[in-house]
Structure 1
Amino acid sequence: MPWWVSISRRCGSKVVIGLATLCSAPVYSQTLGEGFDLAVLSAHGIDPKVADYFSHAARFREGVHVVGLRVNGNPLGLVEARFDYEGQLCFTPQLLEKAGLRIPIAIVRQGITPSQACHDFLGEYPATIVKLRPSSDEVTLVVPTQSMREQEWDSGNYSQGGTAAVFNYDVQGFGERSRNDSARSVSAYTEVGFNLGNWIVRSRQFYVTDNGKSRSEHVNAFAQRDFEALKSTFQAGQISTNNPIFGGLQLSGFQFSPDGRSRVAGAGSLVVVEGLAQDSSRVEVRQSGVLIHTTLVPAGPFRFAGLPLLNGTSDLEVSVIGTRGGSHRFTVPAASFRGAFQVDPGYYFSLGKVRGAGLDNGESPVVAMGSGTWGLGRDSSLGFGLMSTDAYHAAGGTLSTVFFQRLSIAASQTLSRDDAGNVSGGQRGISLGSPLTATIELNASATTRTRGYRELLEAGRSMGHDDLNSRFKNQYTVGVSWVNPQLGGFSLNYSYGSQFDGQSAEHLFAAWNRDFGGTRVALIADSRVGGARGRTARRNAREQRRREPGNDLSVRLEVTVPFGESRSVRSYASRRDDRVELGATFSERVNDAVNYEVGVAREQTSREQSVHGRVNVTPRYTQFSLGMRRDSLGTGYSSQLQGGVVAHEEGLTFSPYAVQDTFGIVSVGGVGAAKVSTPQGPVWTDYRGQAVIASLPAYQNSSVQVQTNSLPRRIDLKNGTKTLAVGRGSFNKVDFDVIKVRRLLLDVRDEQGQPLPQGAAVFDENNAFLTTVVGEGMVFLNNLDEPQVLSVSRGDGTTCSLELNPEPETDEDQLYETASAICRAR
């Protein structure tokens, strides 16, 4: 039974009625006892001095209190507020900052420090309405709009600077073991660097060992910083160009680009990669030859969104590498996501030496490229750019617009000249997207090029006839999505590419899903189809099918039945070529840190059976997963470990997520295991009360909130939510001040051993009212943090002194302590 219920039952109704009468007193000045029947109060054992305290209506006691703040109907979380002896709210700078209000110059009352000054907010904005609700620990403000602060990004009103080092890791491994053979593969993607004074320095590398054969790949290493005066981002080192006109290149050099301050979503956040894995597989996504994403996926459909694209002009190459050696690849054309990749208006410039490619004489070309993008009204933009080396030149332009606020169209044209090969050509493209209705959305693209068109990496090379003809000639994509309340959701994505030698490749991904009273049914089809014309083309196609068997059509039907909020059973039937498999999987989310799945499958043709299982664990400071599959051919296993580490002036702090360019550390007053909600996801503080905020959106508002139910019972927060506005590349420290509250339930008796009378008033050393004595001499003190002497005024006019010397705390998770005390007559 809660303590307050117990106390109310033992107090009786008289005190409750008396206090309710006091708290409903009218709001005007009164002398002692005016408006109250003092005889009735005394008869109920309530000291008349209490009536004087509450004669001006219910109010907060003098001092600092943690209250909920609401401004113009919007809850803003908890804040530390000060009240004077009359219970009036003090508009301190901290309160005004939390409320997002302007700070008046005039001060009506000066506190101990400037931060405690009471500003004359009501004098400057007299229309303000202040509602104090001490019964619910809440303060409500209704303020005029002119008193609210506006965001001032251009004036640099966001955090900057800070110093910290970063290490991110993503280690994956899978293998197979049978009676006669075994195979093993391990890959590790790491990122190291630091942030210093808004500079971002990073180095990224990839390492793979496959059956004893190892290879390493250095992705890039660069330094980056935003310059506010230019509203540009500067990068230097081993960089990937992000010019919106030309394809991405790997350079050793530098580049300038708009800082993206007007961008709401990250680049590539709307680009989606979908596919179907027949077995447990490792999926690699590359752009411009650079690995931008890799992860392990179980058998079944996979979907990636929010990929860290290098640019919006280069295709994505997706490789699905199975644990048993099978693999397949497909391409996501850049034309299909140009509408989703937002181009920031401004100027782009890059200069450097091309990495990873050389001319016939062994030298890598030095390239310079520049472009500009300008807005034409509200819904249109125009871009133009030039690129040049000693032997290669290109020019391009883009135009995008929106018709009728529904149909978006983007067109591009690029011309190239290869002096060494003495050829010229062009490439043109168009893409469109439109919500045809409220439930149907369509997007399509087309890209074509002439035989003489050359990319920079193709220029100056001695290309044979086969190499020239194997280059792509046309690319087409179309995507349709439709949602119907009765029929469910449909999506279709189709891409077609042809080469100059007549070969063609097509990729089709289609899905349908519908919810039947909680049971979800999904049908997925993944197909790579197409033909090849000519003897050489047909021979190459047959060889490709032998190297990568089963590339034609895969179909999978899934039925997921939930059992409660955390458990579900998924049954499926899949077909790939002539292989048909049936299976079922049970999955459960145990808590925030652990989830697992187990399942069985049967291949119908060979009647082979298999079992598999996987567990995913987030032990607060890292992420780990382990999977196993067992069948007649042997045992397969897979594992993954990922996370990040931040080194700062107070030590090392571990993160279950990869740390991004802009990040921070949150501190919760030395309290360990506190759960904190961040823009990246939930994190937990370590033994020092610290946790990593792995990612903060630059030039936008974001919030960090402590989940109070994860704190010990004796811990209160002065403010459980903080709103941040950060600059790119900054390292931010977010401190939450905690209050360790000692609640004490006293059994108070007089010197003759008799309990104090019910209704006696308890005052502190400054004669401020604290509480009253309830039944059988019980006194509840809400916050006792140091020795003090209290005075108790009994109904008969006598007083006694209560000397308290609390002992050291023993259990922070105990809601309140109990003790006995003697009130000695004065």
Structure 2
Amino acid sequence: MAQFDTELLRERGLSPRIAEYFRNGPRFQPGAQPVTFTVNGNELGRKSATFDAVGKLCFTPALLRSLGLKSYEQFALEKPNLKVDAEVACPDYRDVSPRTLIVLRPNEGAVDLTVPAEDVVPVARSLRTETGGIGALFNYRGYAYESQWAGGYKSTSRYLDTELGFNAADWIVRSRQMYSEGDGVGRFRWQSAYAQRTFVDEKQVLQAGRITTINPLYSGLPITGAQWFPERGLRQMQSYPITGVASTRARVEIRQNGVLLYSTVVPPGPFTLTDYPLTNKGADLQVRVIEETGSEQIITVPASSLLLASDNTQNAGLTIAAGQLWDQTDVRTYDRVPVLTGAYGWALGPVSGTVGGLVSRSYTSAGVAANWKFAENASAFGQVLASRDGRRDANGAQGSAAVAWQASKDVSLGVSGNLRTVGYRTVQDAASIYQAPIVGIGARSQLGATASWSLGRFGSVSAGITRETYFDGEPGHIYSLAWGTSWQRVNFQLGVSRNTARTYLVDPRQPWAGWVLQQPNTYVYANLSIPLGSNATSTTYARRSNDVTRYGTGIDQRINDMLSYRVSAERADDGRGTEASGSITVVPRYTSLTLGVSDRQGGSSYYGEITGSVLATPMGVGFSPYAVADTFGGINTGNVVGLKVDTPQGPVWSGPGGFAAVPSLLAYQDSRLEASLKDASLDVDVDNPLQVVQAGRGAVLSVDFGAKRVRRVLLEVRDADGQLVPSGLAVLRGGDEFFSSTAQGGRVMVSRMVDGDMFYVELPSGKRCLVQDIETSPKKDGELFESGKAVCK
């Protein structure tokens, strides 16, 4: 028990009543309030807890459930002789679990609990996961781009990507469509439409509609049908990082086998893309960087590099897909060709693998793949696919292999390769009504090696080489060497690459098929980034490509969550003069808008992009600057509009009706939702500003933060004789709840003024007076709280 010097308290102008209140140690104010709980070292987030008049924590049945502790009913069943009374006003958990330790930290708003391990209720993941709910969504992303040149020539492009769907009873229904327009020629493409549901007990997913196969051996096949695959197949894997440098604001398109996978716009300077969809690691990626000036560069990412990009461990379990092929380019290439494919994955110690096959009209294929972690810092991957095209009597095989080795903590090495025979055919090759010859420009093999070396404070070096051979043609090579370092937040990159391979147009439907799209090219770049403070960064660069050297500099700054901008200038030695550009990105809470303009010798360009989503649940309708994922939810913020909430995807704000859209929750993992109180108004109270939830895939969660607007009043209190009450006196709410003390000038801050509340002041004589005749005046612009007067009688 703590002892206080009451005379010293009096000397400092504080009432001895305060000493009585805190004599038994640190204490919370009486009543219900949000508290951060830690149980056996595990932080559980903020829970609503109740404290009695002397500051003791009340272990109510609801609190035990939220903390995952054994209930009073369970104690009564296990120990019939134990007297358990959970109906008392303020139950104490130590009455049933005497070894429980409670540490109150009221100055931090936290409580640490240490309980016996047997008192923690083991809860299965499926039981801890919240499921169900209903909600609808609309995602949108669109941009418009226009370039003008002297003489009246104009080039325009438009792009709109939308997604419609809803979740109900853990079913996910989606439809995605894209519209693109270039120089007056428009094209609408229906990308996908499907319904899916996760069956938790089987740990499998059923998906049906216009889909692409999720199969360790035959992934990425577009079919109209259904598939059954392990839930882990939906885990988002980071794709191979595509890096490049844009001279101007540029449009970047990523294609594979002629199909557009992703399109975006990047600002001038270096860029890295990792969030594009990738299901097939057996074919090269073609990346087109289209500058505002109309110039283009093509980056080829070899399939051999994709093998080293992510974890190749096969998914344990059964995968089956059946349906008809469909052409993602919306051109009738296949004539109702049926496809049936299946695979089974297994794991045994350091070895995991998959076996499977595919059957179609006059076509069969079989394959096997394996991963082997043969050392703590080394692993190998291998895959072989064999095919038989009965209509053309063609047999063949294709193999892939990769070895990754962490030679030391600073050095990592990788080797990978692909090889195929002349007769190997994919099911799409065999099913297509357009038959291109394999010989000629077809790739026969790829062999690549990568290495990276960390130099400590001097940065890191990476190098790579890829050799590609063809059935008929000269072999090509891709070389790359890069060095990067940072010091005091100053970053510098230097790199060189050379591509001697030729990129061909192989679409047999085009009359110019076989033409070379890209000649050998050497690319050199240097980039220096310097922080300027206040979230501003200066970037200076030089690069040379296609015998043209460009120099440029720019400044970008993120002013706050809602506003950022960039300005830059570039000069090239090809006679085009200097180009200046600028852009601004505004996030007015519920959408994201970017506008850009550039001016150059002989022309100018304009750009605009808008992204966001609309989400509707029974709680309300909300808007977000981010796309809604397959698992989402909503937050009720009461009558508070504009409350900022941090979510796994980024900050969102409550809109009209006090509803905040949560566009993405982590499936089967903890998601933190936290109200940003430092950005909230002074008159806003949030009962549960931090909540940790776990949602099943396809669930729509509803969360209540208990936010409300409150009146905060600074009272000037006088006694019955009209004199200001002395400072340091205890102020009680309702007669026994200590919540404040009087300050100089008889001032008392009432943090939550509620009609009907009764306030008492403990007088030096030991008596108390009742605060009456309260008169307040509304706060003016710029004031943080109301002011008022009262008499204590």
TM over 0.5: yes
Answering whether residue 694 of structure 2 is matched by residue 725 of structure 1, we say yes
Q: CA deviation at 1:654?
A: 1.4
Taking a change above 3 Å as real, the CA distance of residues 468 and 66 of structure 1, as seen in their structure-2 partners, is same
Confirm or deny: 8 A CA contact 1:503 1:532 kept in the other structure. Answer: no
Taking a change above 3 Å as real, the CA distance of residues 143 and 287 of structure 1, as seen in their structure-2 partners, is farther
Counterpart Cα distance in 2 of 1:638 and 1:360: 34
Answering whether residue 553 of structure 2 is matched by residue 553 of structure 1, we say no
Counterpart of 1:95 in 2: which secondary structure? helix
Match of 1:453 in 2: 424
Answering whether residue 459 of structure 2 is matched by residue 488 of structure 1, we say yes
Counterpart Cα distance in 1 of 2:791 and 2:44: 43
User: What amino acid maps onto 1:388 in structure 2?
Assistant: V
Selected match of 2:58 from 87, 90, 99: 90
User: What amino acid maps onto 1:347 in structure 2?
Assistant: L
Selected match of 1:304 from 249, 258, 273: 273
Confirm or deny: 8 A CA contact 1:161 1:197 kept in the other structure. Answer: yes
Confirm or deny: 8 A CA contact 1:712 1:812 kept in the other structure. Answer: no
Counterpart Cα distance in 1 of 2:295 and 2:592: 27
Confirm or deny: 8 A CA contact 2:38 2:112 kept in the other structure. Answer: yes
Taking a change above 3 Å as real, the CA distance of residues 739 and 476 of structure 1, as seen in their structure-2 partners, is same
Answering whether residue 450 of structure 2 is matched by residue 479 of structure 1, we say yes
Selected match of 2:34 from 54, 63, 66: 66
Q: Superposition pairs for residues 390-405 of structure 1, below 5 Å?
A: 390-405=361-376
Q: Superposition pairs for residues 385-424 of structure 1, below 5 Å?
A: 385-424=356-395
Counterpart of 2:48 in 1: which secondary structure? strand
Taking a change above 3 Å as real, the CA distance of residues 185 and 509 of structure 1, as seen in their structure-2 partners, is farther
Answering whether residue 154 of structure 2 is matched by residue 182 of structure 1, we say yes
Counterpart of 1:753 in 2: which secondary structure? coil
User: What amino acid maps onto 1:356 in structure 2?
Assistant: D
* Cα shift readout 1:557-578 (whole Å, capped 9, x = no counterpart): 1122221142222221111132
* Cα shift readout 1:533-566 (whole Å, capped 9, x = no counterpart): 9xxxxxx999956x55x76122121122221142
Taking a change above 3 Å as real, the CA distance of residues 47 and 590 of structure 1, as seen in their structure-2 partners, is closer
Counterpart Cα distance in 2 of 1:744 and 1:462: 79
Selected match of 1:430 from 397, 401, 412: 401
Q: CA deviation at 1:257?
A: 0.5
Q: CA deviation at 1:376?
A: 1.4
Answering whether residue 3 of structure 2 is matched by residue 25 of structure 1, we say yes
Selected match of 1:566 from 522, 527, 535: 535
Counterpart of 2:232 in 1: which secondary structure? coil
Confirm or deny: 8 A CA contact 2:385 2:399 kept in the other structure. Answer: yes
Q: Superposition pairs for residues 284-323 of structure 1, below 5 Å?
A: 284-287=253-256, 290-313=259-282, 315-323=284-292
Counterpart Cα distance in 1 of 2:523 and 2:42: 51
Counterpart Cα distance in 2 of 1:69 and 1:812: 38
Match of 1:159 in 2: 130
Q: Superposition pairs for residues 236-251 of structure 1, below 5 Å?
A: 236-251=208-223
Q: CA deviation at 1:741?
A: 4.2
Taking a change above 3 Å as real, the CA distance of residues 214 and 504 of structure 1, as seen in their structure-2 partners, is farther
Q: Superposition pairs for residues 619-634 of structure 1, below 5 Å?
A: 619-634=588-603
Q: CA deviation at 1:137?
A: 4.1
Counterpart Cα distance in 1 of 2:430 and 2:469: 21
Counterpart Cα distance in 2 of 1:443 and 1:790: 73
Greater shift, 235-244 or 211-220, is seen at 211-220
Q: CA deviation at 1:223?
A: 1.0
Answering whether residue 729 of structure 2 is matched by residue 751 of structure 1, we say no
Counterpart of 1:524 in 2: which secondary structure? strand
Confirm or deny: 8 A CA contact 1:714 1:814 kept in the other structure. Answer: no
Confirm or deny: 8 A CA contact 1:504 1:531 kept in the other structure. Answer: no
Selected match of 1:529 from 497, 500, 505: 500
Counterpart Cα distance in 1 of 2:391 and 2:332: 11
Counterpart of 2:428 in 1: which secondary structure? helix
Counterpart Cα distance in 1 of 2:18 and 2:486: 62
Answering whether residue 198 of structure 2 is matched by residue 226 of structure 1, we say yes
Confirm or deny: 8 A CA contact 1:617 1:625 kept in the other structure. Answer: yes
Taking a change above 3 Å as real, the CA distance of residues 601 and 42 of structure 1, as seen in their structure-2 partners, is closer
Counterpart of 1:382 in 2: which secondary structure? strand
Match of 1:614 in 2: 583
Counterpart Cα distance in 2 of 1:259 and 1:809: 57
Greater shift, 684-693 or 803-812, is seen at 803-812
Counterpart Cα distance in 2 of 1:455 and 1:511: 36
Match of 1:129 in 2: 101
Aligned residues: 775
Q: CA deviation at 1:90?
A: 0.7
- Structure showing greater radius of gyration is 1
Confirm or deny: 8 A CA contact 2:773 2:791 kept in the other structure. Answer: no
Match of 2:298 in 1: 329
User: What amino acid maps onto 1:25 in structure 2?
Assistant: Q
Q: Superposition pairs for residues 111-122 of structure 1, below 5 Å?
A: 121-122=93-94
Match of 1:734 in 2: 703
Taking a change above 3 Å as real, the CA distance of residues 177 and 799 of structure 1, as seen in their structure-2 partners, is closer
Q: CA deviation at 1:253?
A: 0.5
Taking a change above 3 Å as real, the CA distance of residues 700 and 800 of structure 1, as seen in their structure-2 partners, is closer
Taking a change above 3 Å as real, the CA distance of residues 260 and 84 of structure 1, as seen in their structure-2 partners, is same
Counterpart of 1:441 in 2: which secondary structure? strand
Confirm or deny: 8 A CA contact 2:130 2:695 kept in the other structure. Answer: yes
Selected match of 2:411 from 411, 423, 440: 440
Greater shift, 129-138 or 291-300, is seen at 129-138
Counterpart Cα distance in 2 of 1:184 and 1:530: 31
Q: CA deviation at 1:347?
A: 0.6
User: What amino acid maps onto 1:444 in structure 2?
Assistant: V
Q: CA deviation at 1:727?
A: 0.7
Selected match of 2:354 from 364, 383, 403: 383
Question: Which sections of structure 2, spanning at least 5 residues, go unmatched?
Answer: 77-83, 505-510
* Cα shift readout 1:156-204 (whole Å, capped 9, x = no counterpart): 4211122112211121222211221111111111111111111111111
Confirm or deny: 8 A CA contact 1:585 1:599 kept in the other structure. Answer: yes
Answering whether residue 622 of structure 2 is matched by residue 653 of structure 1, we say yes
Selected match of 1:704 from 659, 673, 680: 673
Counterpart of 2:128 in 1: which secondary structure? coil
Counterpart Cα distance in 2 of 1:531 and 1:728: 44
Taking a change above 3 Å as real, the CA distance of residues 784 and 484 of structure 1, as seen in their structure-2 partners, is same
Match of 1:200 in 2: 172
Confirm or deny: 8 A CA contact 1:713 1:812 kept in the other structure. Answer: no
Match of 1:31 in 2: none
User: What amino acid maps onto 1:414 in structure 2?
Assistant: L
* Cα shift readout 1:633-661 (whole Å, capped 9, x = no counterpart): 21122222112111233443211111111
Match of 1:210 in 2: 182
Answering whether residue 342 of structure 2 is matched by residue 364 of structure 1, we say no
User: What amino acid maps onto 1:626 in structure 2?
Assistant: L
Counterpart Cα distance in 1 of 2:398 and 2:718: 94
User: What amino acid maps onto 1:216 in structure 2?
Assistant: F
Counterpart of 1:336 in 2: which secondary structure? helix
Q: CA deviation at 1:684?
A: 2.2
Selected match of 2:119 from 147, 157, 161: 147
Taking a change above 3 Å as real, the CA distance of residues 757 and 705 of structure 1, as seen in their structure-2 partners, is closer
Match of 1:272 in 2: 241
Confirm or deny: 8 A CA contact 1:502 1:532 kept in the other structure. Answer: no
Counterpart of 1:271 in 2: which secondary structure? coil
Confirm or deny: 8 A CA contact 1:418 1:460 kept in the other structure. Answer: no
Counterpart Cα distance in 1 of 2:435 and 2:731: 98
Q: CA RMSD in A?
A: 3.4
Taking a change above 3 Å as real, the CA distance of residues 763 and 367 of structure 1, as seen in their structure-2 partners, is closer
Taking a change above 3 Å as real, the CA distance of residues 778 and 605 of structure 1, as seen in their structure-2 partners, is closer
Confirm or deny: 8 A CA contact 1:24 1:58 kept in the other structure. Answer: no
Counterpart Cα distance in 2 of 1:49 and 1:301: 65
Taking a change above 3 Å as real, the CA distance of residues 442 and 124 of structure 1, as seen in their structure-2 partners, is farther
Match of 1:511 in 2: 482
Counterpart Cα distance in 2 of 1:582 and 1:224: 50
User: What amino acid maps onto 1:576 in structure 2?
Assistant: S
Match of 1:665 in 2: 634
